[in-house]
Amino acid sequence: MAHVDFPPCRLVSWPEIDRWSDLIAEKVRSASWNPQVIVGLTRGGWVPSRMLADRLGTKHLAALRAQHWGVTATPSGSAELTEELATRLDQKRVLVVDDITDTGQSLQLAVRHVADRGALEVRSATYLHISHSTYMPTYFAEEVARDAWRWFVFPWNYWEDLRTLAGKVRASDGMPAKEVQRELKARCLLDVPLSHVERALAPL
Ligand code: ADE
């Protein structure tokens, strides 16, 4: 389902991100748990980790580089951590954050890595959790049924996704932007303004 050229997409808005951040922060707080360190998986978990650090008042924020999805809806083989954490996490309570658990592999690897760095307790959080994921985060804002799978176009990936998908639906270089816009909607359920399609099609 994630291997299709024209994934059904869902645009995610900033108000949703705010709401999901509030929801997760509330779940963490009501578990009477507060992380001393937040580790955000890059790139998808970078913004979410910052949002949660702000809400939970966590000053120590670290990034862990994970790679699984090459470009939009295209897995790059199996998940891997491509850079290790520079810091030790001895005796720390650590929250590992990503935007979504889809296969669950990246988060699982990250949690294991953080434990190997000496953490006392590791919990994890994602905004969205797809029910087919082999790994369930400790906290998530919304569960997505596996047959409701979508490629979620997060605000921090908007232009990258649009460039990739516009490039795929464009049958030829001369295809007018208006037609590309129509194809994006028909094939990918992606309803975006014409000016955005034009921008996405322009060379970088
Ligand atoms: N990263 C992994 N799975 C994803 C999905 N379904 N949507 C957006 N980003 C993802």
pLDDT tens-digit profile of 41-68? 999 999 999 999 999 999 999 999 998 8
What are the pocket residues of ligand 1 if the criterion is a CB atom closer than 6 Å to any ligand atom? 44, 69, 100, 102, 151-152
pLDDT at 75: 83
Q: What is the pLDDT of residues 87-135, one digit of tens each?
A: 899 999 999 999 999 999 999 999 999 999 999 999 999 999 999 999 9
pTM given for the model: 0.95
Q: What is the pLDDT of residue 2?
A: 54
Ligand 1, atom nearest to 7 Cα: 6
Residue nearest to atom 3 of ligand 1 (CA): 102
8 SS3 class = coil
Peptide bond into 170 cis (omega under 30): no
pLDDT tier, 171 (very low <50, low <70, confident <90, very high otherwise): confident
Closest residue (by CA) to atom 5 of ligand 1?
151
Answer for the pair 124, 137: CB distance below 8 angstroms, yes or no: yes
Whether 166 and 180 have beta carbons less than 8 Å apart is answered as: yes
Q: Which atom of ligand 1 is nearest to the CA of 130?
A: 6
> Using 50, 70 and 90 to split pLDDT, how confident is the model at 3?
low
Q: What are phi and psi of 177, to 5 degrees?
A: -55, -35
* Most ligand 1 atoms within 8 A of CB, residue of 12, 99, 130 to mutate: 99
Question: Would you identify the CATH topology of the domain 13-152?
Answer: Rossmann fold (3.40.50)
Mean pLDDT of all residues belonging to the chain: 95
Dist. CA 36 → ligand 1 center (Å) = 27
Query: What value does the mean pLDDT take over residues 163-168?
Result: 96
- Output the pLDDT for position 109: 96
Q: Which residue has the higher pLDDT, 182 or 84?
A: 182
Residues with Cβ < 8 Å from 107, sequence gap 6 or more? 41, 96, 98, 101, 124, 126, 135, 137
